[in-house]
Amino acid sequence: MFVRLTGCPLRCQYCDTAYAFSGGELMTLDAIVERVASYNPRYVCVTGGEPLAQPNCVPLLQRLCDAGYEVSLETSGALDISVVDERVSRVVDLKTPGSAEVARNRYENIACITRNDQVKFVICSREDYDWAVSKLIEYGLDRRAGEVLFSPSHGQVDVRALADWIVADNLPVRLQLQLHKIIWNDAPGH
């Protein structure tokens, strides 16, 4: 189950959740935990926007872990991840130059990455791919994170081309596709 928190300090050029920049429903931590419990999920993914921009995100993650859920956090990587409960699996973006937010990368977060986490690159071009490969090597991300994900920016990079680049370079990464875009065509709520 996804819990989407509103608000994000970044403005990535490919953002597919601009509807999450504002609005939503103001809820207490208790109300969120109760709503989650009503669906009886095993797995809860807290996403955004940028969840860590919300002052109660860290307590929410702790509460969800304490309630026995398997919890993950999808974050832009622009804010400090060291404050996140160690029980939470973090999916941390490294923003590529094509995102228009590469200057927001918080490289000190890499020291916090564990085998329980994933590092994700959204690839907008061949130049982004080459940049991501250089960061993969420079920081040894495949040895630090549980998985490194290369995801094509929807409508900007051909999936097959990205797959071919990965195979040709024999990269220790996983090609990640956003299945909700294939199945539901970018409709909010999926």
16 annotated to a ligand binding site: yes
164 annotated to a ligand binding site: no
Read off the tokens for 140.
């040894």
Cβ contact 151:176 at 8 Å = yes
Read off the tokens for 31.
């109300």
Classify the C-alpha dihedral 82-84-86-88 as positive or negative: negative
17 annotated to a ligand binding site: yes
189 annotated to a ligand binding site: no
45 annotated to a ligand binding site: no
12 annotated to a ligand binding site: yes
23 annotated to a ligand binding site: no
124 annotated to a ligand binding site: no
Nearest Cα residue to 100 out of 156, 166, 163, 161: 156
CA gap 12, 116 in Å, rounded = 26
Nearest Cα residue to 92 out of 108, 71, 113: 113
15 annotated to a ligand binding site: yes
Cβ contact 173:179 at 8 Å = no
State the binding site for substrate.
Answer: 4, 47
State the binding site for S-adenosyl-L-methionine.
Answer: 14-16, 49
State the binding site for [4Fe-4S] cluster.
Answer: 8, 12, 15
State the binding site.
Answer: 4, 8, 12, 14-17, 47, 49
State the binding site for Mg(2+).
Answer: 17
